[in-house]
Chains A and B, each alone.
Chain A
Amino acid sequence: MSTVVEQVWATLEHLTDPEIPVVTLRELGILRDVTETPDGVEVVITPTYTGCPAMGQIEDDVKASLSQAGIPARVVTRLAPAWTTDWMSDEAKEKLRAYGIAPPHTTRPDVSVVKFMRHRPAPDVVACPHCGSTHTVVSSQFGSTACKALYKCLDCQEPFDYFKPY
């Protein structure tokens, strides 16, 4: 890795998700790649949900950090391969849990959409991030943001967010 590329990774390391400030963009898998091109450094990011309102903020944060560090860089958004919660590091998942958000399960193996609908799978069994109990129920598939579902723990009675597999 060249010095400037290393420098970019180091500079961006402190950037966190605007909605979930305990995990970094790298840990979430949003920051995909840094390459050196003839006309400067290129930073590749990928959007999470198509309508995630944090994406604009994330791009601005990346640009601002690099310009503050005096590194001329272009930020490129790349859609493929599509972002998946499976890219989230174990470290990031643990941080989510400590923050009170149940981390995402691994995405289900690819089944055809018809089969998927015909045998609508039961909601994921999710452990409560507060007390660890798996005696929990889903209140709504859409929680405080599109990427989270709302669950309730039947033991400690606390509601909590579950980061949905995507």
Chain B
Amino acid sequence: MNAPVDYLLHLADNAVVLGQRNAEWCGHGPILEEDIAMGNVSLDYIGQARLLYQLAATRLGGDATEDKLAYFRDETQFRNYTLLELPHNGPLVGYAVSDRDYATTIVRNFLYGALMVLVWDALEKSPDADLAAIAAKSLKEARYHLHHAADWVVRFGDGTEESHKRAQAAVDHLFPYTEEFWTPSAAEDAAVAAGAGVDVRSLRAAWDAIVNETLSEATLVRPQVRGYVPEGKHGRHSEHLGYLLGEMQGLARAHPGATW
């Protein structure tokens, strides 16, 4: 059976929000190679989001289009993990401005990348043939993303005193947000019930193995996490998503239907 549209939107929103976040490094990367790498990773994420939005739009029918789904839904309709909308630095209120911290970018890409290789690997076998086709392509890209992020986690963690300190701070800041991965939403439950999705809880042991191994190679400590579970995938977001969407959607909303 086909995966429900809400599940496709969850996957698509994750990809588009992180793609938009990482693209903020374009022209501001810490070194030229990383500036280009982050642009390319974003391009992959936005490409994956497009395929998923196109599929969702086809299944919704009517006048739904990929652009309407990306640009004309509001904050509370987005189903991405809270982790992915956070700015590239430690805890801050939404309107605060700080220098971006590349360790935060890398650690986030690593924690999410480790999840997505597992998700796409499972969805590649989904009986929903359209979703499986997207998963097969995305998996190839996700492996490169994870590889890139893991290399830098090790370089930062096992690097200088300063890079280690920043990498550990990023791990401490971001790790609690990964709790959201493991509590299925209604859309995820429905996808599993339809036989088309993956039960995220079944991926946890493999995710732990990847994360623990890399953190230990990086001489970083995995923090103990207990308590609050973010609810971005239920549409309850941090204050940061609105600012991100404001920038991403502003042009399309100011000139609806414009082409160039």
Contact = CB atoms under 8 A, between A and B. Distances in A.
Interface in A126-161: 139-146, 150
Interface in B130-146: 130, 132-134, 136-141, 143-144, 146
Contacts of A50: 44, 47-48, 50-51, 134, 137-138, 141
Contacts of B209: 114, 118
Given A50-B50, A118-B213, A83 B137 contact: yes
A52 interface: yes
Chain B facing A: main interface SS: helix
Contact of A117 (B34, B37, B45, B210): B210
Interface string B42-56: 111111101100000
Contacts of A113: 117-118, 121, 139, 143, 206
Contacts, number: 97
Contacts of A114: 118, 206, 209-210
A49 B117 contact: no
Nearest to A108: B143
A12 to B, nearest CB: 23
Chain A contact surface mostly = loop
A51 B36 contact: no
B136 A139 contact: no
Interface of B: 33-34, 36-37, 40-48, 50-51, 114, 117-118, 121, 129-130, 132-134, 136-141, 143-144, 146-148, 150-151, 206, 209-210, 213-214
15 contacts: A47-B137, A50-B134, A51-B43, A51-B46, A51-B47, A79-B130, A82-B133, A114-B118, A117-B117, A117-B213, A120-B147, A120-B150, A142-B40, A142-B41, A166-B140
